[in-house]
Chain A
Amino acid sequence: MNDSNKDEPVAPDLSEGESSDQDDGMGEIVNEFLVESYENLDQLDQDLINLEQSPGDINILSSIFRTIHTIKGTCGFIGFTKLESVAHIGENLLGKLRDGALKLSPARTSALLAMVDAIRQMLSCIENDANEGSVDYSGLVETLTQLQTDDGADTPIEPATVEAEVKEEVAPVAAAEKAEEPVAETPEPIQPSAEIDDDMEPIVNEFLVESYENLDRLDKDLIELEQEPGNTEILSSIFRTIHTIKGTCGFIGLHKLERVAHVGENLLGKLRDGELALNPPRTSALLAMVDAIRHMLSCIESNRNEGDVDYSSLVEILGKLLTDEGSAEVAAAPAAVGEKVEEKVEEKKFVPAAEKVDRRQAKPDEQAEHVAKNGDKRATDDRRKETRGVADSSIRVDVDILDRLMNLVGELVLARNQILQYAPAQSDSTFIATSQHLNLVTTELQEGVMKTRMQPIGNIWSKFPRVVRDLSMAVGKKIRLEMEGKETELDKTLIEAIKDPLTHIVRNSCDHGIETPEKRVANGKDEEGVLLLRAFHEGGQVNIEIVDDGGGIDPEKIKSIALSKNVITQEQADRMGDRELVNLIFAAGFSTAEKVTNVSGRGVGMDVVRTNIEKIGGSVDIQSVPGKGTTLRVKIPLTLAIIPALIITTAGERYAIPQVNLLELVRLDGAEAKKSIELIQGAPVYRLRGNLLPLVSLNDELKVTKEEESDAVNIVVLHADERQFGLVVEGISDTEEIVVKPLGKQLKGISAFSGATIMGDGKLALILDVMGLAQKARVIAEHQDKSLSKESASQGVGGDRQTLLIFGLEKDDRIAIPLSEVARLEEFRRSDVERSGDQDVVQYRGEIMPLIYLKEALNTGDVEKDSEKELMQAVVFTKNDRSVGLIVERIIDIVEEAVTVQRGANRTGVLGTIVVQDRVTDLLDVENVVQAADPSFLLETNAVALVEGA
């Protein structure tokens, strides 16, 4: 569906129409035309691309031809001559392609695509200014003409003729009639009685569905028209319907139908131009024509031909009615005419083939009888029912109505919340049951209405084949676009919102991602690159992946560019991991194109993409393997109108925080808070599992004063723009589904709020804009370097993040061991230790587990086995079903850090030195220690496993 119908009525201003004027009655028609044409053009783009893949495909060609023809016909009728002439030339070219007179070449495809663009441009001019704009398309027309004659001798139309035709059509009066003449005059060389080609089948079906719809309206329109003969709107509508039917008939090769429609159209044309006035004989004849068309359609539907009824007398009458004299003549002999027309209609009803006309209303037994008679037709009948079913089972609804419905459902959700809050206090069981029921129904209603706003993502993907094709042509690459999960649905507003970011990503992938054919071949890849779009639902979110099999992103290149553009410092760069580096492409002011092309790399790059996606509560992530390709993953919520949120209180007011931004909640009691919140230059930070978390006080940010005095600190850990920060609030209530309401314009400037919502008690709560808040608190901007370096420090060059267990043997030392090597942490009583040979052991889980005193093993000091401490801390290390307990002095912490060995080992049992939490820490070589202490422990089993994990 296109948005244009939502806009203000198009073209109220007629004063400046330079190339064409529209009269007032046309406004609505023009609007409808615009909406329809935009839709058609999107389809057209895709069709043309498909056609290029399979040039012989008659279905695609037909679809294209038909679209252009419809546009052309309508333009001619409304009086958009410039648009019409462009469409006309395109149609001629398409006609030849269809007839096989010409072959599709890239040049032709490009020209046709250019034509589509031209049409789109003119349509947008019409929409905005009510005229076709002042761009001169004669060059395009010429090119299109040229391309029709390239193949020389067998081209039936001379270039001169085409030019002439175009010029002729510029004369507005005759435009409409001229428009369809090419079609009428260039029928396919098919025998009149030709059965419909199998290839045509889908087109014919579509045609039937559409035509039936149109005919129903036609009947109504004609009756109305008789009431008010001067109504141009109705006339136009009728004319258009007949014209569409006629055009399609001509194309499919239904010449009998076409002829009837054609004379009818001529008559209508004259009526419309005011040359003739509508009188009862004319109305009757037109109605008879509608009946005739309907009859033929039903024949086509069931028998795949137009039936054998002869309509020449109807044609004759319609022809006669074209002149006033003829009409008078007919009117003079009313009996004759009436009879003839009646007869026609009657006759049809009784002609054997025609009995199907009424079959839809026929009684079941008649139908059964019929089926029995024509058992073999059953399949066709079923199909027809199906087709009709599709036409009947969907309606177009104005987006505004859906929006209003959505709002009302929002209200209902609020009312429901209020009642649910109130219900538990009631003792009336009926009331409680009813409120439960209300709850269920509301939830279902909410889902249902939400569904109506859902659109398949294919709607925006449909333009990508064109984008990719144009791009690959422009940069000389071969790219195949594949799509998976086109039918994945998401909210219409979101669809609109991700359109541009997605387009940008796709363009980027084509421009930077996929290599030139030569390079690909040199790298042993298929010449043709593949760009895969994949969409799917996962965990209440929509995932969209854009995968290319191109050159991938070279972290080193990113690093050097980032350095040259001062995005990061050398020091930071040195400590960044590959993945971190790759994600730098989302940093502001980053463009990796070696040369700036007009395709992408215009400075506004992926940072805008990320901002836009995050604006709608989504996230984007990139993974790249150099030489193999890149995967971009975009995650977005299903809808924005009703979101889950955490309700917090501060300074006596409630605020809602969207759940998408929420990571975790931390509560610190008074003493703990004092101890663990540290200050760096006055900026409070908290160590969250070893990472520094900048803290922001909501009270300070909102400039409100604390109300309740409490020692406990509540930290809401949030993420925005890839950064984490802790928001200090006074109280945390609950999570709730909230309905997002916009704020008035007076409050739009406050970046800390994204909207407001009505709570269960009817009071309001402001929704915090986490992103805006972070920016305001300068978590994102000011602390960026800090957190970057922090992250990169932990990323390190050495490898992935690891979770480390930190423990100590002496007063101040720190030793780390990968948590993955630790089976359990245990405490043993000294009195439980027994001796076995020269080794201390304990009974542990039904086994005898040897103990190793790490102090002893690492030669750091004597073990005070008789120490006053009764409990011993043991780190249990398990290998091959055998366990050993490492006795340590104290367990300090578990942190997640990257293991970057800074200094080699100079002691036995130590792999090296690392920095953890900014402190020098020894990394324990567990296997070494165990083996030194108890050579037998590992000997029995495969020694290869020794190095694992270290």
Chain B
Amino acid sequence: MTEQKQFCTFYLDNHMFGVKVEQVQEVFRYQEMTKVPLAPPVVRGLINLRGQIITAMDMRQRLGMEPLPEGKLPMNVVVRTKDGVVSLLVDEIADVLEVSEDVHERPPETIPDEVRQLVLGVYKLSDKLLLILDSEKAVDVNTGALVS
């Protein structure tokens, strides 16, 4: 019996991503954000989550993808990290998936650097690949793609 892991999955530019389900506090639809001038571009704004102020970060921007097409609104995946609670803005929220360690692999060397830095591993699902996002690194503005 191999180990099973649960991931909360979502889509970014037609790729399926996931974060460990234990890290996810909640998910919700688009909510209006307060823009923060001078903030790094990946920070899209602040959200009032029942009295708690959380930072919303654009994962497309973070992973070096094209911005979301005009008129489409992102959704929020709120994760708990050691840097506090942060909302990851994603295209669309998918299911919670249970996957087996059997199909796990290290991220291939050939994928773009800014993506590889933030991806913990790849699960080979039957119809597609599931990229596991390192949420700690993803919310840390001092690492990865942002610096360049």
Binding between chains A and B: yes
Q: How far is the CB of A691 from chain B (nearest CB, A)?
A: 30
Q: Does A747 lie within 8 Å of B37, measured CB to CB?
A: no
CB-contact partner of B86 in A742, A746, A750, under 8 A? A746
Q: Does B139 lie within 8 Å of A758, measured CB to CB?
A: no
* A892 interfacial contact with B, CB 8 Å: no
Query: A743 to B85, alpha carbons, bound, how many Å?
Result: 11
* B32: A residues at CB distance < 8 A: 763
* B99 interfacial contact with A, CB 8 Å: no
CB-contact partner of A762 in B36, B48, B57, under 8 A? B48
Question: Contact size class for B?
Answer: 20 to 34
CB-contact partner of A746 in B37, B38, B47, B141, under 8 A? B141
Query: A411 to B52, alpha carbons, bound, how many Å?
Result: 9
Q: Does B43 lie within 8 Å of A414, measured CB to CB?
A: no
- Beyond A741-B53, A745-B83, A764-B53, whether A750 also contacts B34 by CB under 8 A is no
List residues 730-766 of chain A with CB under 8 A from any CB of chain B. Answer: 741-747, 750, 752-753, 756, 758, 762-766
* B42: A residues at CB distance < 8 A: 746
- How many A-B contacts at CB < 8 Å in the complex? 68
Query: A651 to B47, alpha carbons, bound, how many Å?
Result: 19
* B43: A residues at CB distance < 8 A: 746-747
Query: A765 to B85, alpha carbons, bound, how many Å?
Result: 19
Chain A: interface residue total (CB-CB under 8 A): 25
Interface mask (B18-56 → A, CB under 8 Å = 1, otherwise 0): 000000000000001011111110110011100111110
* B69 interfacial contact with A, CB 8 Å: no
* A907 interfacial contact with B, CB 8 Å: no
Q: Does A750 lie within 8 Å of B51, measured CB to CB?
A: no
Query: A752 to B83, alpha carbons, bound, how many Å?
Result: 20
Chain B residue with minimal CB distance to A744?
B55
Q: How far is the CB of A22 from chain B (nearest CB, A)?
A: 29
Interface mask (A386-403 → B, CB under 8 Å = 1, otherwise 0): 000000000000000000
* A702: B residues at CB distance < 8 A: 37-38
Q: How far is the CB of B98 from chain A (nearest CB, A)?
A: 31
Q: Does B83 lie within 8 Å of A744, measured CB to CB?
A: yes
List residues 168-212 of chain A with CB under 8 A from any CB of chain B. Answer: none
Q: How far is the CB of A856 from chain B (nearest CB, A)?
A: 62
Interface mask (A51-90 → B, CB under 8 Å = 1, otherwise 0): 0000000000000000000000000000000000000000
Q: Does A703 lie within 8 Å of B34, measured CB to CB?
A: no
* A497 interfacial contact with B, CB 8 Å: no
CB-contact partner of A744 in B34, B37, B51, B86, under 8 A? B86
* B140: A residues at CB distance < 8 A: 745-746
Q: Does B46 lie within 8 Å of A745, measured CB to CB?
A: no
Q: Does B84 lie within 8 Å of A744, measured CB to CB?
A: yes
- Beyond A653-B34, A750-B36, whether A758 also contacts B84 by CB under 8 A is no
Most chain A CB neighbours (cut-off 10 Å) among B37, B43, B52, B55 = B37
Q: Does A743 lie within 8 Å of B38, measured CB to CB?
A: no
Chain B residue with minimal CB distance to A753?
B36
Q: Does B139 lie within 8 Å of A743, measured CB to CB?
A: no
Q: How far is the CB of A86 from chain B (nearest CB, A)?
A: 39
Q: Does A756 lie within 8 Å of B46, measured CB to CB?
A: yes
Q: Does A756 lie within 8 Å of B53, measured CB to CB?
A: yes
* A756: B residues at CB distance < 8 A: 34, 46, 53
14 A-B pairs (CB sep. < 8 Å): A653-B37, A704-B37, A741-B53, A743-B53, A744-B55, A744-B83, A744-B86, A745-B84, A746-B57, A746-B86, A746-B139, A763-B32, A764-B48, A764-B53
Residues of B whose CB lies within 8 Å of any CB of A are 32, 34-40, 42-43, 46-48, 51-55, 57, 83-86, 139-141
Residues of A whose CB lies within 8 Å of any CB of B are 410-411, 414, 651, 653, 702-704, 741-747, 750, 752-753, 756, 758, 762-766
The 9 closest A-B pairs by CB, nearest first: A702-B37, A744-B55, A764-B34, A745-B83, A411-B51, A741-B53, A746-B141, A750-B38, A756-B53
Q: What would 14 more interface pairs be, CB under 8 Å, given A747-B39, A756-B46?
A: A410-B51, A703-B38, A742-B53, A743-B46, A743-B53, A743-B55, A744-B85, A744-B86, A746-B43, A746-B139, A758-B51, A758-B53, A763-B48, A764-B34
